[in-house]
Amino acid sequence: MAVSDKPVVLITGCSDGGIGNALARAFASEKCPVVATSRSVNTMKSLENDSRVFLQELDVQSEESIGRALANVYDKFGRIDVLVNNAGVHCVGPLAEIPLSAVKNTFDTNVYGPMRLIQAVVPHMATRRKGKIVNVGSVSALAPGPWAGAYSASKAALHALTDSLRLELGTFGIDVMNVVPGAIQSNIGNTSVANYSKMPEWKLYKPFEDAIRARAKFSQNLNSTPADELAKKTVAAVLKENPPAWFTYGKFSTGSAILYHLPLFLRDRILRIVMKC
């Protein structure tokens, strides 16, 4: 794969059926060399025949895996212009009973994973005084409801880190962008249900089990925004000379912003009705 003058883009979490996979295809359609990563290249079969996409194993929870992956990328392309921290896991369960191991795994992937990539890539970008870091958050961080508190908290933490990074890295010519998807059609519903099946039987919250289980697939209804649509809009924003600091798109994105600004008593009342708690 010859290196073009288009930005070299590294994306985490590119398994088939997900947002990262759609982003990889959208960047490639703009003629960008793309490094699509996942814990296993076998999960990225749909990208195998795209000549602009280089598949690379990368586990965001492992510094060693990140180091190996970046060494391969620098050897092949000589640079990374855009880092997209997309890899993430959902986590559903009442906070008073959910195993702390599940909460830790959520933060290790959704918060510490991006930080590992950022700390590994920033020295390279700072030397070149050029680069873009894109963190994929969630509208659930704007109005956290019941049953997915660990996930919402991890995305809220990522939003806060992104705001700080934007100020800290601007001095090195590095743009930092927060992408905040709404309800997007992806494989997150299936993986969330699979993860939920490993949870213990609830005690205090046994009467709410149907509502809790429904939360695992809440974003995957028939009106959810297609991942390809989100990806196309996101890529257009990222490739701007001066990308926006905040970009949100998709089902519930406007509604979540409205909830964020409502008085807490009113927001709580709405979420109690919607989430049946």
Confidence at residue 153, expressed as pLDDT on a 0 to 100 scale: 98
- pLDDT, residue 219, reads 75
Q: Is 260 a catalytic residue?
A: no
Is residue 3 very low, low, confident or very high in pLDDT (cuts 50, 70, 90)? low
DSSP result, 100-154:
HHHHHHHHHHHTHHHHHHHHHHHHHHHHHT-EEEEEE--GGGTS--TT-HHHHHH
pLDDT of residue 222: 65
Catalytic residue among 45, 76, 104, 155: 155
Task: Say yes or no to pLDDT of 223 above 90.
Answer: no
Average pLDDT over residues 63-70: 98
Tell me the percentage of the chain whose pLDDT exceeds 90: 87
Q: What is the mean pLDDT of residues 29-42?
A: 97
Domains by residue range for the chain, with CATH: 9-275 (3.40.50.720)
DSSP per residue, 227-262: HHHHHHHHHHHHTSSS--SEEEESBTHHHHHHHHHS
What would the two tokens of residue 219 be?
Answer: 């974003």
Provide the residue type at 42 as one letter: N
Specify the pTM. 0.94
Q: How far is 214 from 193, CA to CA, in rounded Å?
A: 9
Q: Quick check: 2 pLDDT over 60? A: no
Active-site residue (options: 151, 196, 205, 249): 151
Helix, strand, coil share (%) of the chain residues, nearest 5? 50, 15, 35
Q: What would the pLDDT profile of 40-56 be if each residue is shown by its tens digit? A: 999 999 999 999 999 99
Q: Tally the residues of the chain.
A: 277
DSSP class of 21: H
pLDDT in the model for residue 211: 93
Q: Mean pLDDT across the chain, nearest whole number?
A: 94
pLDDT at 194 over 90: no
132 as an active site residue: the answer is no
Distance CA 201, CA 183 (A): 28
Q: What is the DSSP letter of 50?
A: -
Structure tokens at 132: 């873009």
